[in-house]
Amino acid sequence: MITVTLPDGSTRHLQSPQSGADFAADIAKSLAKKALAVKINGELRDLSTLIESACAVEIVTADSAEAVELIRHDAAHVMAEAVQELFPGTQATIGPVIENGFFYDFARDEPFHEADLEKIEARMKKIVDRNEPITREIWDRTQAISYFEKIGEKYKAEIISDLPADEPVSIYRQGDWLDLCRGPHLPSTGKLGKAFKLTKLAGAYWRGDSKNAMLQRIYGTAWVTDKDLKAHLHMLEEAEKRDHRRLGREMDLFHMQEEAQGMVFWHDKGWTLWRMLENYIRERIRAAGYTEVRTPILIDRKLWEQSGHWEKFREHMFTSETENDIFALKPMNCPAHVQIFKQGIKSYRDLPLRMAEFGCCHRNEPSGALHGLMRVRSMTQDDAHIFCEENQITQETISFIELLQSVYADLGFNEVKVMFADRPDMRMGSDAVWDRAEGALKTAVEAAGLDYELSPGEGAFYGPKLEFHLRDAIGRDWQCGTLQVDFGTPGRLGASYVGEDGARHAPVMLHRAILGSLERFLGILIENYSGKFPLWLAPIQVVVATITSDADEYAKSVAEDLKAKGLRVETDLRNEKINYKIREHSVAKVPNMMVVGKREAEEDTVCLRRLGVKDQQFLSLSDAANLLQGEARAPTGQLSKGE
RNA sequence: GCCGCCGUAGCUCAGUGGUAGAGCGCGCCCUUGGUAAGGGCGAGGCCGAAAGUUCAAUUCUUUCCGGCGGCACCA
């Protein structure tokens, strides 16, 4: 007798082992029809899995949260079957589920073309119509390897030979088509449905290593219902409208051109945004006890040799020559900050010393990595280095994380992904020092109570780091903030302080940035607000627009008045109807319009219209100016702290 | 850097082996209109660059440059 517990707490008793499918059928015929898989003791399994001993069982249907995962996984397999039917000789490699969809990597001499996607999609739908049963088989490892080798699937054979010895080799049979897969899968291809779409074609290295062959990757998206698919596609269209490169052009914020690849030409409006953000951060770090410095951009190679950059970061550095020497454009500010620290004798009483710089750094990024403001070759970091004693690391980390969270909240970011990146292969310093640095950072981040994910091998060459990731409009994550623990650089560059014990010690250095690079952060910020910036950041805060030319003089005086109060104002005196002006400035995302006509001019009032709000307010000019002036103040972190 | 796609007016895009078109924007004129597009006229292009095929190339081929989507690399 086998006792099975159902999700509602009830139990059923089986006389003998039974498959998940039969088990579902015993409960209700309708359930059997809807069943896609089973969950046994919380583990997702094929519907054919035998229930052999007492356990908790849940029948997974299209309504279950897991359904979409199964569907995406099967979509990948059905796509691979379709591809191999249409393009014989193509090898299938791996095809996992990803956020919102799936992909499969293929090896084929001929390239796939965009037009092939439609054909493949059509064939996938045929395979769904065929409703091929999907069954699981366990094969002998050697047999499996020789089978895949025989049919020319050398990548599959390689995967099997690399599987851990104790892992069974499970093969899924889908009609006449076979694939190595861990599973689980749907009971048949018909259950997949047709709410999928192939979206893009891309190259991808075998096993993610650029030394390996490049495969052809086909991406797709798949959903439980057609409605979900449509919603997702619509969301992507909307996201495209928020793309910072598009808004940058439409809103006249910045441009880029090929003569200065990866570098930004900031226009007046974009640069206003920049200044507002920079001033805000400057004020926040001043209040948090930082000093601010400015260091050279072009520095002799000798210093980079000492710091280790010449050895570990050389390929990313731009260089320049004089008669005798090679100079490099700084890719980081840290060595320069150590030079300032080294001026005069420092005591432990000077620590922690928090040295900030809006440092302009250049890195020779690979051309394929460049991406609008998000990945540039010339960037300005809101950088700072905290020189401290080892026992101050935890407190400094906690303070930094508090500051960072408060800043992110002020700027409208609530979802932040935190990664802990430990020692990379290419690194400086002994393992013992890395042990200490990683340990110190781990202690500190845990003391700060931060949830984080591990990112193995992704640390900086001089120390482990915390990465704070923000998400762009179409769901790509970008590292913005960071905190890095460095036990090596100060000592390497000869920095020391006199400790309480009277002896000289090398300080620990925390490299940290909140925004990361101003370029990238502004890119993210533009997308996050869809260009509808809060008043304090908006490049144009008010447009004073006239109804008829009778009000031109009054409009000019209103604008002067607002300017005198520190607001960023433009007038619109053009010979256009008010409807036209309103539409144009609304599309341009100007947060406030003041409409003035004869009446306002006579009464010294304005008619205030907020972006996206149909109603208007009639206010005296001074009330309106005071109102906007109050709203236009930059946040100070006080509000976000209480929330 | 690697793979695929793309490059025509300021922007979004049509188009053709016989040197080009639309909408929006821009300029001028008419219109002075009270909350998301009033009307008319006009200017604007070395069809990314170079080479090749051809009587003839923006169109076909090759190479290069740049952009886009990924991969790899990274703030």
Please tell me the distance from the alpha carbon of residue A243 to that of residue A258, in angstroms, as a whole number. 20
**What is the crossing angle of helices A268-287 and A518-528, to 10°?**
110
Domain end marker among A21, A44, A60: A60
A529 burial type by CB count under 10 A (0-12 exposed, 13-18 middle, 19+ buried): middle
pLDDT in tens, A560-595: 999 999 999 999 999 999 999 999 999 999 999 999
- Contact assessment for residue A594 and residue A543, using Cβ atoms and an 8 Å cutoff: yes
Q: Are residues A338 and A472 in the same domain?
A: yes
Instruction: Render the burial of A262-299: b for 16+ CB within 10 Å, e for the rest.
Output: bebebbebbebbbebbeebbeebbeebebeebebebeb
- Closest-lying nucleotide for A369 based on CA to C1': B73
Span CA (A520) to C1' (B75), Å: 7
Confidence category of residue A323, pLDDT binned at 50, 70, 90: confident
Banded pLDDT at A507 (limits 50, 70, 90): very high
With a 7 Å cutoff on the CB, does A255 touch strand B?
A: no
Closest C1' nucleotide to A421's CA = B74
Q: What is the pLDDT of residue A261?
A: 92
Are A525 and A411 a contacting pair, CB within 8 Å? yes
Q: Is residue A253 part of a domain?
A: no
Q: Is residue A504 part of a domain?
A: yes
Peptide bond into A507 cis (omega under 30): no
Could you tell me the distance in Å between the CA of residue A639 and the C1' of nucleotide B24? 43
Residue A642: pLDDT band with limits 50, 70, 90: very low
Give the residue ranges of DSSP H helices in A448-501.
489-492
Q: Are residues A90 and A186 in the same domain?
A: yes
Q: How many Å apart are A202 CA and B19 C1'?
A: 37
Instruction: Assess whether A95 and A51 both reside in one domain.
Output: no
CATH number at residue A378: 3.30.930.10
- Closest residue by C-alpha to C1' distance, nucleotide B67: A258
DSSP A506: P
SS3 content of chain A, % helix, strand, coil (to 5): 40, 30, 35
Name the nucleotide nearest A467; use CA and C1': B75
Distance between CA atoms of residues A359 and A293, nearest Å = 9
- With a pLDDT cut of 90, the percent of chain A lying above it is 83
Q: Is the CB of A315 under 7 A from strand B?
A: no
Tell me the residue range of the domain where A604 lies. 542-631
Average pLDDT of span A25-51: 89
User: Is residue A103 a contact partner of residue A95, using CB atoms and an 8 Å limit?
Assistant: yes
A90-107 pLDDT, tens digit each: 999 999 999 999 999 999
Q: In the numeric block, which tokens belong to residue A455? A: 């990112």
**Lookup result for tokens 């935890």:** A394
CB A487 within 8 A of CB A254: no
Hits for CB < 7 Å against strand B across A residues 424-483 = 424, 458, 460, 465, 467, 474, 476, 478-480, 482
Which amino acid is residue A80, in one-letter code? A
Residue type at position A297: I
CA A117 to chain centre: 27
Q: Number of structural domains, chain A? A: 4
Active site residues of A: 334, 363, 381, 383, 385, 465, 511
Say which CATH number the domain at A41 has. Answer: 3.10.20.30
Element (H, E) at A326: strand A326-329
In this prediction, residue A2 has a pLDDT band, given cuts at 50, 70 and 90, of: confident
As given in the structure block, the two tokens for residue A390 are 């080892």
Q: What is the mean pLDDT of chain A?
A: 94
Contacts of A477 (CB under 8 A, 6+ apart): A417, A469, A470, A471
pLDDT classification of A483: cutoffs 50, 70, 90: very high
For residue A184, cis peptide bond before it (omega within 30 degrees of 0):
yes
Residue A28 pLDDT grade (very low, low, confident, very high; cuts 50, 70, 90) = confident
Residue A641 domain-assigned (yes or no): no
Average pLDDT over residues A601-627: 95
Cβ contact A552 with chain B strand, < 7 A: no
Residue A499 and residue A552 in one domain: no
**pLDDT value at residue A264:** 96
One-letter amino acid at A42 equals: G
Domain shared by A114 and A18, yes or no: no
Q: Which nucleotide is closest to the Cα of A516 by its C1'?
A: B75
Per the listing, tokens 């020189």 go with: A387
CATH of the domain at A81: 3.30.980.10
Biggest CA pair distance of chain A: 94
Q: Are A450 and A456 in contact (CB under 8 A)?
A: no
Adjacent-strand bridge partners of A637: none
Q: Which among A60, A78, A99 is the end of a domain?
A: A60
Residue A37 lies in a domain: yes
Last residue of some domain: A495, A528, A561? A528
Angle at A337 between CA A335 and CA A338, to 5 degrees: 65
Give residue-wise pLDDT tens across range A301-322: 999 999 999 999 999 999 998 8
3-state secondary structure of A140: coil
Our measurement of CA A258 to C1' B64, in angstroms, reads 14
Rounded to whole angstroms, the distance from the CA of residue A575 to the C1' of nucleotide B39 is: 13
User: What's the burial of A78, exposed, middle or buried (CB within 10 Å: 0-12/13-18/19+)?
Assistant: buried
Handedness of CA A577, A580, A583, A589 (dihedral sign): negative
**Does residue A189 sit in the same domain as residue A324?**
no
Q: Which helix (H) or strand (E) holds A468?
A: strand A465-471
Q: Other CB atoms closer than 10 Å to residue A312's CB: what's the count?
A: 17
Copy the structure tokens of residue A118: 């439609």
The neighbour count for residue A302, using CB atoms within 10 Å, is 12
CA dist., res. A312 & res. A328, Å (int): 14
Residues A623, A534: Cα–Cα separation, whole Å: 20
For strand B, which residues in window 207-246 of chain A come within 7 Å by CB?
208-210, 214, 216-217, 219, 243, 245
Report how far residue A168's alpha carbon sits from residue A183's, in angstroms, rounded to the nearest whole number.
12
Whether A56 and A71 share a structural domain: no
Do A235 and A299 have their domain in common? no
Assess whether A56 and A86 both reside in one domain. no
Q: Tell how strand A542-546 and strand A569-572 pair up.
A: parallel
Residue A636 domain-assigned (yes or no)? no
Please check whether residue A637 lies inside any domain of the structure. no
In this structure, the answer to whether residues A42 and A168 fall within a common structural domain is: no
Q: Model confidence at A641, in pLDDT bands (50, 70, 90)?
A: very low
The tokens for A626 are: 């005071």
Residues β-bridged to residue A347: A498
CB A70 within 8 A of CB A54: no
Distance, angstroms, CA A579 to C1' B41? 23
Look up the CATH number of the domain holding residue A598.
3.40.50.800
Taking the C-alpha atoms of residue A337 and residue A304, their distance in angstroms, rounded to an integer, is: 13
Measure A255 CA to B29 C1' (Å).
34
pLDDT band at A165 (very low <50, low <70, confident <90, very high): confident
Predicted local distance difference test score (pLDDT) of residue A324: 85
The CA distance from A16 to A513, in Å, is 62
Residue A643 has pLDDT above 80, yes or no: no
- Nucleotides of strand B under 7 angstroms from a protein beta carbon: 1-5, 11, 30-38, 65-75
A639 falls in which pLDDT band (50, 70, 90)?
low
Nearest 5 degrees, angle CA A239-CA A243-CA A249?
140
Mean pLDDT for A280-306 is 96
According to the model, what pLDDT value does residue A75 have?
A: 96
Q: Does any domain span residue A213?
A: yes
Q: Which tens digit of pLDDT belongs to each residue from A352-409?
A: 999 999 999 999 999 999 999 999 999 999 999 999 999 999 999 999 999 999 999 9
Rg, Å, chain A Cα set: 31
In a domain, A259, yes or no: no
Statement to judge: residues A30 and A76 lie in one domain: no
* Domain co-membership, A313 together with A215: no
Which nucleotide is nearest, taking the CA of residue A376 and each C1'? B75
DSSP at A260 = G
Helices A431-447 and A393-410 pack at an angle, to 10 degrees, of 50
Contact call for residues A22 and A15 (beta carbons, < 8 A): no
Q: In the 345-384 stretch of chain A, whose C-beta falls under 7 Å of nucleic acid strand B?
A: 363, 365-372, 374-377, 379, 381
